[in-house]
Amino acid sequence: MPIGNTQPSVRLASAGRAGGPAATPPAHRGGTRPRRTRGGLGAERYAPYILVAPAVLIIVALRLYPLILGVNFSFTGDGDKNGEAVGFGNYQELFSDPLFRTALGNVGLLVLLLPVAVAIPGLLATFIYLRVPGHRLYRSVYFFPAVLSPVIVGAIFNLLLAFDGPVNAVLGVVGAGPVDWLGDPDIAMFVVAGVHIWATFGMALVVFLAGFATLDAALLDAARVDGASLRQVVWHVIVPSLSRTIQFVFVTTMIGMLTSMFGLLFVMTSGGPEGSTYLPEYYIWIQQGQMNRPALASAASTILFAIMLVVGMLQIKLLERSGKVD
């Protein structure tokens, strides 16, 4: 009878509501569940390594292997001792060379100027982010020097900073005497470094603007409501929020200052006056390209790499520590 046929289903339903075991439909049609084969699990396990492998091979083949060869070559001789092991002879010769010691001193000067090279694009990016009047025009104008070749920039500033150039002409109008910007050993390196900062800060500006895109606008609004000044907003809100961006800009700017100033040096001063604008990269080019001493150049390259590695790690540690303190 119909009534009798419906009783078992009623009992099952009431048992399920009471907390007892209830019948559950099969998870898949046909009553079978798909099983992952051992081959499928292995493919999923090794997939990340397979995807990363091409990049790792490129880095090893084009970066790490040449670096190891260069370090090994720095312990060999030049000229009559070509290919012969000379130990630390090349390094001893480097540190006894006044030009190389001057180049290392200029590296220290650039490291001291590094906060200025980072602060300038950071402050300008802050003003653009806060939408000061004309911020769209400023963004284009600030980035324009970054698209110019270092050779073009050097030629332009050679004309501007010549002893009888426009800059000294303006100084003469205001009653100041002419300055030998590129011929005075005491100021030539500062001038070249300033030109490099002007020519390259546009890239750092773009990186800072990208970092500002991730900044939580609610934090700025809350700071304004609390009556914070611009300095307080920058120091207590913007700087902690952009700590990772600042670290990236510090490291990339340092690498650029130590390895990308050859064009400016070659066009503006050629290492002069009196070798006062030598940098390790210019010294390396002189030894390799003009003196035909590749082993000595390899030793200088190794020292430059070590300097960049140590300075970069110290910068990151200092920035991380300051971020934790804040």
Quote the CA–CA distance of 212 and 82 in Å, as a whole number.
53
- Please report the sign of the dihedral spanned by the C-alpha atoms of residue 164, residue 194, residue 263, residue 290: positive
| Confidence check: pLDDT of 13 > 60 | no
Average pLDDT for 8-15: 43
| Confidence check: pLDDT of 58 > 60 | yes
Please state, as a whole number, how many other Cβ atoms lie within 10 Å of the Cβ of residue 61: 10
Average pLDDT for 282-308: 93
Quote the CA–CA distance of 279 and 290 in Å, as a whole number.
16
| Confidence check: pLDDT of 33 > 90 | no
How much is the pLDDT for 181? 94
| Confidence check: pLDDT of 18 > 80 | no
Domain of 191, CATH number, reads 1.10.3720.10
More confident: 113 or 240:
113
Residue 183 in any domain: the answer is: yes
pLDDT tens digit string along 72-110? 999 999 988 888 899 999 999 999 999 999 999 999 999
Average pLDDT for 309-318: 85
How much is the pLDDT for 304? 93
Q: Is 271 helix (H, G, I), strand (E, B) or coil?
A: coil
| Confidence check: pLDDT of 40 > 70 | no
Supply angle C-alpha 8, 11, 13, rounded to 5: 110
Residue 234 in any domain: the answer is: yes
pLDDT tens digit string along 229-282? 878 888 888 888 888 899 899 989 998 998 889 999 999 999 989 999 999 999
How much is the pLDDT for 7? 46
Residue 85 in any domain: the answer is: no
Q: Are 86 and 77 in contact (CB under 8 A)?
A: yes
How much is the pLDDT for 138? 77
Please tell me the total count of domains within the chain: 1
| Confidence check: pLDDT of 6 > 70 | no
Residue 16 in any domain: the answer is: no
Average pLDDT for 24-47: 60
* Full residue range of the structural domain in which residue 191 is found: 98-323
CA distance readout (Å), 267 to 7, 29, 116, 156, 271:
99, 77, 24, 10, 9
How many helices (H) and strands (E) the chain has is answered by 16, 0
How much is the pLDDT for 197? 94
Q: Which two tokens stand for residue 33?
A: 């569940």
